[in-house]
Amino acid sequence: MAARQIGAAAAQVVDVADVAQVDAAMSASLAALGGRLDILVAGAGIAGPNATVRDYPIQAWRRVIDVNLHGVFHCNRAAVPAMERRGYGRIINVASVAGKEGNPNAAAYSASKAGVIGLTKSLGKELARTDIRVNCVALAAVRTAIFDQMSQEHVDFMLSKIPMGRFGAIDEVTALVCWLTSDEASFSTGVVFDISGGRAT
């Protein structure tokens, strides 16, 4: 759908938890776009079940970590060589305030997003002497399809933590991501940018 809206775009369907699929999709995208990669936004994610740590299903834990953390790692790893060849790039990883604070009954999600923050800081420092910038955005709750994976009790809990008393809007996150991909943000790398309605203060 996004490819149709954009027009000149190469769309790939990929399970980011599968490194072979990520590498194949990156190769196909580079071939379709003349070998050039300017921006990566690594935003695929799942919520996982709402459960205490002692009751958390092992397979669900692994799937959340596979998609939310390993998937971001796979995409970052695949993007860096193409950006290094051009000497330029912008990587934006999507984290969460849950990765900074931890949410009860959402340990897998919180742990995965904490890992994304650590990965972003590490890669940002590795590439700091290049013109490749690596940052992440730490969201409070933004109303997207991921809400469909959560219990209403957990959705209500997240809203109760936001001082503005509302969920974020996709356009608000998009504006921050667009700024981070611009040259106006050229002195920022390895940074976590909160967009949380006052939650992260």
C-alpha angle 39/42/47, rounded to 5°?
160
Question: Measured between alpha carbons, how far apart are the two ends of the chain, in Å?
Answer: 36
- Tokens 């934006």 correspond to what residue? 92
Cβ contact 193:168 at 8 Å: no
- Tokens 């940002």 correspond to what residue? 124
Q: Choose among 136, 192, 199, 193: nearest CA to 167.
A: 199
- State how far the Cα of 29 lies from the Cα of 14, in Å rounded to an integer: 12
88 catalytic per annotation: no
Please report, for residues 23, 30, 195, the alpha-carbon distance to residue 156 in angstroms, rounded to integers and kept in the order given: 38, 42, 18
User: What's the sign of the alpha-carbon dihedral 103, 170, 83, 11?
Assistant: positive
- Tokens 């790692």 correspond to what residue? 73
Q: Which of 61, 109, 167, 193 is catalytic?
A: 109
Residues forming the active site:
109
